[in-house]
Structure 1
Amino acid sequence: MKNVLLTVAFCLVLLFCAFVKKGEVRRFELSGYAQGTTYNIVYYAADSLVTQGQTDSLLQNFDRSVSLYQPNSLISRFNRSEKGVEVDGIFKTLVIHVRQINRATAGLVDPTVKPLVDAWGFGVKKPDHEPGKEEIKNILRYVGLDKISLKGNFLSKRNLHIQLDLNGIAQGYSVDLLADLLERHHINSYLIELGGELRIKGQKPGNEPFKVGIEGITGDDLDPAPMRKVIEPGDGAITTSGNYRKHHEAGGKQISHLMDPLTGYPVQNEMISITVYAKNAITADGYDNGFMAMGLKRTMAFLSKHKEMGAYIVYRKPNGVVTDTVSTYFKGHPKLN
């Protein structure tokens, strides 16, 4: 009797598996609020394998690690500490990746710029004045990745004044973690968007590719225009950095939120925005601000040697005319129209 029951149970399992295999793929959506912005996930599967509770929990855990807006997060505790703190896997991964990108961009991507970000009015607390030359010179004494050290899980710093801001790479990594969550549940067709950062895999039913619109600008770089380009990037990540959204005016000119860690001043060059493609979002997000600081010529030279990455760039010519260009990847791989 026991063998008969086992045989029946086994047959039922096979029937269930066959049903799931042949089950109709449906569209599922998740959306919520995280990191001071919104997130949206679309995935295709036979069942709702991932819930909003799971995604919210993941993002809340992420904020407990590296959110500057949470006073008890690990990064806030590090910034208040005199010598450093024990970090978790999220924090450690971000530090390791940002070190690599720092070297690749000759120091233009540097998370120790937080004192500069604060001084120029883009931090949590707003100063009552614009920093002068002496103040910037003093702040630069505490900027540089040589002033922090990661040994095991302990991230140390040389003194109290050294502070980190991982916002230039953290959001991209959180998108990657959401992608990992979906893939652990064997979901292989999805589009994840968090604060404009994207991660894409697979296709919609009917082999229809996911399409992404890239925001352009009109003649005034503070006036975003409707979608300037539509791309079909395939599997990978898309992130964007620009100086036309986060800025303020000082001395009769627009001050960008992007800091040059080598000079101590906001980035000022011909770049208006850059949309970066890479295999994962931690890479795309980690490089986009660096490319903004590098400028057009250096960025295009860099991408000519790193063809696994791509960029769509909006910039201003010397005569003031706004135009755009793309790197080799966008010319040869995805659809761009």
Structure 2
Amino acid sequence: MRKLVFLFAGVLFLGCTSMPLIKNQNAGNALGTTYSIIYIAEEELDYQKEIDSVFQVLNQSLSTYQPTSDISKINLGDSTIVVDHMFQDVFKTSTRVYKASNGYFDPTVGVLANAWGFGPGNQLELDSLKVDSLLVYVGWDKVRLNADGTISKAHKAIRFDFNAVAKGYAIDRLGAMLDTKGIENYLVEVGGEVLTKGINTISAKQWTVGIDDPQVTSGRQLKRIVSLEDKALASSGNYRKFRIDPETGEKYVHTIDPKTGYTKNSNVLATSVVANTCAEADAYATAFMAMDLEDSKNLLDAQDELEAYIIFLNENGETKEFMTSGFEKLMKQ
């Protein structure tokens, strides 16, 4: 009996003893921005090579700034390229968001992004006739992913621009890499967009993420802080990415309305979306910048898996906020 008691006590002692948790972190520059990846484990780990590999293969597939990438070759008219699963994933996600947003999310705006000075191509002097002529080459219904993995375009001049979804997708791929390593608690951040899994087990709390105030012009100030677990968050806004015409002083924002062809200075200042994947959060945050606020609200009512926070100006120029009930529950007071 004494031996059994000692054995039981020993098992109990071992069961209550756990390895110390270690916060592993990799940070650097990629995709034209910065990244920070935190993953918690019971040992020191360094997945820098794997992280670099994810960025490398993604750039080879989807970067419009690399002339040898698949997307660059397709943009130049090569119809023989068989795209990889990453390009296909982004294409399919884009199709879903295009349909849900009534066409306001449209990655064929590449020719317009170039013309307005927000892409790798040449900026043009634009007037209404020129914009109308470029709209001929815009429209997700003019492109197709074929069964053999090739891409068909109604016009050779159509240009894909996946910048509004590819960064979020890259974050998802980094998360998938960590999943294969057996990491159960992590936060992946690239350019302010994040994907979380589990919790911060060192602090025994959910991961917390800050959302920038779009009306702070110098430095950064947080507007809201939210807690996330097994969710992604992406934000979009015109407060950082814009250009000023040096001659006229006119401001051009990077949000392009695919229906009119013009950059859109709307009353929506910034959007943040929480979704199951960062690719979807990224795409919808972009769509909501181009959509009217009421249309965005209607879309959110129809999409149970999305939560959103939208900062806008009312008819009196006053700053207002809209958030879904699910997003409100994520906020830290």
TM-score using structure 2 length: 0.89
User: Shift of the alpha carbon at 1:164?
Assistant: 0.5
Say whether residues 1:277 and 2:259 are aligned partners. Answer: no
What letter matches 2:131 in structure 1? I
- Name the % identity: 32
Structure 1 residues 308, 70: closer, same or farther in 2, change over 3 A? same
Task: Indicate yes or no: 2:236 matched with 1:245.
Answer: no
Residue of structure 1 aligned with 2:82, choices 83, 86, 104: 86
Alpha-carbon shift at residue 126 of structure 1 (Å): 4.2
Within the candidate set 112, 116, 127, 1:116 is matched to 112
Tell whether the 8 Å contact from 1:84 to 1:157 is kept in structure 2 after alignment: no
Q: Quick one: distance in 1 between partners of 2:100 and 2:322?
A: 22
Distance 1:246 1:84 in 2: 34
Q: Where does residue 4 of structure 2 map in the other structure?
A: none
The CA deviation string for residues 157-193 of structure 1, in whole angstroms up to 9 with x for no partner, is 1232111000010000000000011111111111110
Task: Please name the residue that 1:211 is paired with.
Answer: 208
Maintained 8 Å contact 1:32/1:56: no
What corresponds to 2:32 in structure 1?
Answer: 36
Partner of 1:62: 58
Gaps of at least 5 residues in structure 1 are: 1-17
The reply to whether residue 293 of structure 1 matches residue 278 of structure 2 is: no
User: Is the strand fraction higher in 1 or 2?
Assistant: 1
Q: How does 1:68-147 map to 2 (within 5 A)?
A: 68-81=64-77, 83=79, 85-127=81-123, 129=125, 131-147=126-142
The reply to whether residue 227 of structure 1 matches residue 227 of structure 2 is no
Q: Give yes or no for contact 2:116–2:124 (8 Å, CA) kept in 1.
A: no
Measure how far apart 1:283 and its partner are. Answer: 0.8
Moved more, 65-74 or 44-53: 44-53
Structure 2: give runs of 5+ residues left out of the alignment. 1-13
* 2:315 aligns with one of 315, 318, 333: 318
Aligned to 2:9: none
Q: Report the CA distance between 1:309 and its aligned residue.
A: 1.2
* Structure 1 counterpart of 2:98, one-letter code: N
Q: Does 2:191 match 1:195?
A: yes
Q: Is the contact between residue 275 and residue 312 of structure 1 (CA under 8 Å) also seen in structure 2?
A: yes
Cα displacement (A) at 1:307? 3.1
Matched residue pairs, number? 315
Q: For the structure 1 residues 180 and 48, does the alpha-carbon distance in structure 2 shift closer, same or farther, using more than 3 Å as the test? A: farther
Taking only aligned residues, the RMSD between alpha carbons, in angstroms, comes to 1.9
Partners of 1:266 and 1:43 lie apart in 2 by 39
Go from structure 1 to structure 2 and tell me whether the alpha carbon gap of 1:269 and 1:309 turns closer, same or farther (over 3 Å shift).
same
- Of 224-233 and 23-32, deviating more is 224-233
Indicate conservation of the 8 Å contact 2:172/2:277, yes or no: yes
| 1:258-269 correspondence runs (5 A) | 258-269=255-266
Cα offset, 1:136, TM superposition: 0.9
Q: Equivalents in 2 of 1:144, 1:112: separation in Å?
A: 6
Q: 1:31 to 1:224 in 2, by over 3 A?
A: closer
Match of 1:304 in 2: 301
Q: CA deviation at 1:142?
A: 1.0
Deviations 1:193-238 (A, max 9, x none): 00111001111224222111111133xx745651111111222001
| Preserved CA contact (<8 Å) 1:34 1:60 | no
Which of these residues, 34, 37, 46, is aligned with residue 42 of structure 2? 46
Cα distance in 1 for residues equivalent to 2:266 and 2:32? 28
Kindly tell me: are residues 84 and 145 of structure 1, through their superposed partners in 2, closer, same or farther at Cα, counting changes over 3 Å? farther
Greater alpha carbon shift after TM alignment, 167-176 vs 199-208: 199-208
1:86-144 CA distances to partner (integer Å, 9 max, x unpaired)?
A: 21111111111101110000111111101111111111244252x11111111111111
Match of 1:24 among 16, 20, 25: 20
Aligned residue in 1 for 2:231: 236
